[in-house]
Structure 1
Amino acid sequence: MALHLANERLLRDLELFVVATPANRAHFELSPFGLPLAHDGVVDPLRRESLAFLDLLSVLDAAAFGPEGMPMPRWVFYDAAELPGGIVGFGRRAETLTPHLRDRLRIPSSYAGLVPLSMYIAIPTLAPGVWVGHNLCSLRDQLADEALQGIGKLTKAIALKVFRTTSQIGVTQWNSRALGLHARLGPLRLLTAWTPAHTYPASLTYQVTVDDPALRHLAGEPGASMTFPVPEQWIEGMDHGAMEALQARIEEGEHFCVAGLPESAGSDRQRVPIARLPAP
């Protein structure tokens, strides 16, 4: 069944692309919810002809994460994304972009192809159908005039469908706005609440079941809904003590989940609802 969105312009104005090796692509769903790929939307990282598009993906990543000091080196794109997994996103034709945006994205004057405006990267695990979300970004915040409201949610939902994902693992920071987007998939079972192995210990690791109703809710389809357990506590995004205490309980064998969308706690902070889960 086709996907419906409150912001219909997303599906009308944007085109879908997939970056993956032929071997990986053979396992993908290349018509997610009936959406077609752009006529030039299959990008093979093993071929030299893909360089111009892959360059633009690096520019997109730098525009989204460069200000935070977290842009990916090109070898990480290749070794950790394009080769073992895949990249899925949406873009627009170069000729439809304003001269200002073309300059900002460093689009060569001779380039007339698809320009990526969003991407989701995931890496498969040894368990069939289980993928690790590696990177989600878009130019939504930088291009408020481009009618891109909801592009991040749509991009992740469609990508998980393309990858035929049944369960997704992810890592994000407690105070990250992205946590609210990820939580739209449903209750996020916590694998860690405090993560010293990560560069940012105040990160949580989650796993969530993925099916079509969850993907439709994530994408923002009107009428789609999810059921969450009742929260037993709230953890503020800068309360490291609460995170470490919850981590200790997880390591002792208790089970918890993010039980809904975070709420604002003021001054660029948020608080996250937590509920206990029965043992699996």
Structure 2
Amino acid sequence: MTLHVDNARLLEELELFLVATPENRAHFDLQPFGLQPARDGIIDPLRREASSFLDLLSALDAATFGPEGMPMPRWVFYDAAELPGGIVGLGKRADALPRKVAEHLQIPTGYAGLVPLSMYVAIPTLTPGTWVGHNLCSLRDLSADDALRGIGRLTKAVALKVFNARRQIGVTQWNSRALRLHARMGPLRLLTAWTPAHTYPASLTYEVTVDDRALRHLAGEPGNALPSPPPERWVDGEDNGALEALQARIEAGEHLWVTGLPELLPAGRQRIPIARLPRP
């Protein structure tokens, strides 16, 4: 069934790509929502000819996560994503890109192929159908207009469809704007609220059920609103004491959920709706 999104330019002007081994691709949906990969959009990381495109993926990651101090080493791309899982994203031809974007990604002179503008990296778990979302990024902020509005959530939705995911686990920081995007999939059950095992303890680990309705809503398809249970309380993303208290409740056996979209607060903070709900 065809996918419709509120920013139609994304599907009209961008092309789909997938980085995965042939063995992994055999388990994927290579026509997610009826979308076709670009003619050169199936990238095999086991082949030398993939190097130019993989260089651009590294540049995209560095452009988005480098300023935050969390760029991904090239070996992590290969060992933790390209071999066990996959990378899905949307791109555009090099000669159709604004100069600012081309310079930001350091596109080599003479390169005329597909350039990644977004990517979602996911890793399968031992539980069939359960994937860990490892990395989501895009060049939305470099867009001079609204051409890339919604590219992040569309990329994640299409990627999870490619992977045939039925459940997704993710990690993000409480004050990250990405949490708003992830919460568009519906209520997020908290596996952790305070995570000392992570470099940034003020991180949450969540799980969410994946189905077509959730993916279409995430992608930005009009008319696919999801139910949003009322919150019992709101938590400030910078209130470490409150986050540790939530963690204590989780470890005591309570099922706590992020039940809606975070609300922005002054000085770059946000507050997040939390409720105790039955586990499905």
* Structure 2 CA distance for partners of 1:146 and 1:230, relative to 1, 3 Å: closer
Q: Find the counterpart in structure 2 of residue 273 from structure 1.
A: 273
Q: Find the counterpart in structure 2 of residue 138 from structure 1.
A: 138
Instruction: Show the 5 A alignment for 1:196-207.
Output: 196-207=196-207
Aligned partner of residue 39 in structure 1, secondary structure: strand
How far 1:95 moved relative to its partner? Answer: 1.0
Q: Find the counterpart in structure 2 of residue 247 from structure 1.
A: 247
Structure 2 residue 122 is matched with structure 1 residue 122: yes
How far 1:228 moved relative to its partner? Answer: 1.8
Structure 1: gaps of 5 or more residues:
none
Q: Find the counterpart in structure 2 of residue 49 from structure 1.
A: 49
Q: Which amino acid is the alignment partner of residue 225 of structure 1?
A: A
Paired with 1:271 and 1:100, the residues of 2 have a C-alpha distance of: 34
TM-score by length of 2: 0.98
Paired with 2:195 and 2:12, the residues of 1 have a C-alpha distance of: 41
Aligned partner of residue 276 in structure 2, secondary structure: strand
Maintained 8 Å contact 1:195/1:203: yes
CA RMSD of aligned residues (A): 1.0
* Structure 2 CA distance for partners of 1:266 and 1:99, relative to 1, 3 Å: closer
Q: Find the counterpart in structure 1 of residue 260 from structure 2.
A: 260
Q: Find the counterpart in structure 1 of residue 228 from structure 2.
A: 228
Aligned partner of residue 145 in structure 2, secondary structure: helix
Q: Find the counterpart in structure 2 of residue 169 from structure 1.
A: 169
Bigger shift: 54-63 or 105-114?
Answer: 105-114
Q: Find the counterpart in structure 1 of residue 15 from structure 2.
A: 15
How far 1:139 moved relative to its partner? Answer: 0.2
How far 1:146 moved relative to its partner? Answer: 6.3
* Structure 2 CA distance for partners of 1:146 and 1:7, relative to 1, 3 Å: closer
Aligned partner of residue 265 in structure 2, secondary structure: strand
Q: Find the counterpart in structure 2 of residue 191 from structure 1.
A: 191
Paired with 1:78 and 1:146, the residues of 2 have a C-alpha distance of: 32
Aligned partner of residue 134 in structure 1, secondary structure: strand
How far 1:183 moved relative to its partner? Answer: 0.3
Q: Find the counterpart in structure 2 of residue 35 from structure 1.
A: 35
1:112-158 per-residue CA deviation (whole Å, 9 max, x = no partner) reads: 11000000000000000000000000000122336100000000000
Structure 2: gaps of 5 or more residues:
none
How far 1:230 moved relative to its partner? Answer: 1.1
Maintained 8 Å contact 1:193/1:247: yes
Paired with 1:248 and 1:104, the residues of 2 have a C-alpha distance of: 43
Paired with 1:98 and 1:224, the residues of 2 have a C-alpha distance of: 33
Q: Which amino acid is the alignment partner of residue 96 of structure 1?
A: A
1:48-76 per-residue CA deviation (whole Å, 9 max, x = no partner) reads: 00000000000000111111111111000
Runs of 4+ in 1 over 6 A off after TM superposition: none
Structure 2 residue 92 is matched with structure 1 residue 92: yes
How far 1:279 moved relative to its partner? Answer: 4.5
Paired with 2:13 and 2:247, the residues of 1 have a C-alpha distance of: 44
Bigger shift: 75-84 or 93-102?
Answer: 93-102
1:146-194 per-residue CA deviation (whole Å, 9 max, x = no partner) reads: 6100000000000000000000000011111000000000000000011
Paired with 1:247 and 1:95, the residues of 2 have a C-alpha distance of: 49
Paired with 1:261 and 1:99, the residues of 2 have a C-alpha distance of: 35
Maintained 8 Å contact 1:189/1:256: yes
How far 1:229 moved relative to its partner? Answer: 1.3
Aligned partner of residue 67 in structure 1, secondary structure: coil
Q: Find the counterpart in structure 2 of residue 150 from structure 1.
A: 150
Instruction: Show the 5 A alignment for 1:54-73.
Output: 54-73=54-73
Q: Find the counterpart in structure 2 of residue 6 from structure 1.
A: 6
Maintained 8 Å contact 1:186/1:260: yes
Maintained 8 Å contact 1:122/1:132: yes
TM-score by length of 1: 0.98
Paired with 2:144 and 2:248, the residues of 1 have a C-alpha distance of: 42
Q: Find the counterpart in structure 2 of residue 24 from structure 1.
A: 24
Maintained 8 Å contact 2:61/2:137: yes
How far 1:223 moved relative to its partner? Answer: 0.8
